[in-house]
Amino acid sequence: METLLRIAIQKSGRLQEGSLDLLKESGLSFSNGKEQLKTQARNFPVEVLFLRDDDIPQYVEDKVADVGIVGENILLEKQKKNQLIRRLDFAKCRLSIAIPRAENYGGVQSLQGKNIATSYPNIVKNFLSKHNINAGIHEISGSVEIAPGIGLADAICDLVSTGGTLLSNGLKEVEVVMQSEAVIIATPQLAPEKQQILDKLLFRIEAVQKAKN
Ligand code: PRT
Ligand code: ZN
């Protein structure tokens, strides 16, 4: 049986199109993607799995997928056995702390004793302990920006790209915790035949990236 490299990408959302475009621009052609949960390239030994981005690091750790495309924010948050192989130059954003616009901010120390709502508890925990801040973390999975307005938290930590969402929720960005973009992750040790396929794909991806810059 032919060895296939299994690549997990986001099923739908902000990473989906960029991920699929990258594979197509690298010369891979697919019969169809979106409705199927799995599709095989016609002209390259690659199989694509469509998953929720949050699940991809675990699938890669468990070797259900060999490689995945996720945001660096997800890679860092999930703390799985994943290797960062390459940054991909799309889905750029930052993970930032924001507070109500009317409030004064005197540096990270102002977060002492506050309650922070976020979908990224591990990243926030590390950030706070690095700065010796004791603050409560309130984990919520979506609509984080409304938390201060409804009295659920004093501050939030969420992804920002244009800043429009913060603005329309009466918040201001006060700390950038990390910068993020789409990245390729892989299991720490790929079988040699799979590594060969990945190397060939990475070579093509590099050519695509060079042509764009
Ligand atoms: O269903 P699934 O779990 O797969 O998708 P999801 O809803 O978790 O993720 P999705 O599709 O929203 O985002 C996927 C990835 O895109 C994120 O993990 C980031 O790596 C990246 N990305 C880039 C962003 C943004 N930019 C972004 N702006 N993800 C989310 N946002 C949201 C942000 O959470 C906030 O609500 O957009 C809003 C802010 O945008 P601005 O432009 O108003 O600042
Ligand atoms: Zn998600």
Q: List the chain domain ranges.
A: 5-91+181-212, 93-180
What integer pLDDT is reported at residue 125 of this predicted model? 98
Question: What residues have a C-beta under 5 A from ligand 2, the ion?
Answer: 53-54
The two most distant CA atoms of the chain are separated, in Å, by 64
Please state the atom number of ligand 1 nearest to the C-alpha of residue 165: 43
Q: Which of 9, 11, 14 to mutate to test the pocket of ligand 1 (most atoms within 8 A of CB)?
A: 14
pTM equals 0.96
Give the model's confidence band at 213: pLDDT under 50 very low, under 70 low, under 90 confident, else very high.
Answer: confident
Query: CATH top-level class for 93-180?
Result: alpha beta
Rounded mean pLDDT of the chain?
Answer: 96
In angstroms, what CA-CA distances link 194 with 88, 160, 189, 197, 199? Answer: 20, 36, 10, 5, 9
Give the model's confidence band at 24: pLDDT under 50 very low, under 70 low, under 90 confident, else very high.
Answer: very high
Q: Which of 29-33, 172-176, 207-211 has the lowest mean pLDDT?
A: 29-33
Give the model's confidence band at 7: pLDDT under 50 very low, under 70 low, under 90 confident, else very high.
Answer: very high
Residues within a 6 A CB radius of ligand 1: 10, 13-15, 52-54, 71, 73-74, 91, 93, 158-165, 180
Query: CATH top-level class for 5-91+181-212?
Result: alpha beta
Residues 141-159: b if buried by 16+ CB within 10 A, e if exposed: eeebbbbbeeeebbbbbbb
Residue nearest to atom 2 of ligand 1 (CA): 52
Q: Which residue has the tokens 């789409």?
A: 182
Q: Do domains 5-91+181-212 and 93-180 have the same CATH topology?
A: yes
Q: What does the pLDDT look like over 52-79, one tens digit per residue?
A: 999 999 999 999 999 999 999 999 999 9
Residue nearest to atom 17 of ligand 1 (CA): 71
How much distance in Å is there from the Cα of 174 to the middle of ligand 2? 24
ipTM confidence score: 0.98
Which tokens is 206 given?
């590099």
Residue count (the chain):
213
Task: Name which of 205, 213, 208, 201 is nearest 43 in CA terms.
Answer: 201
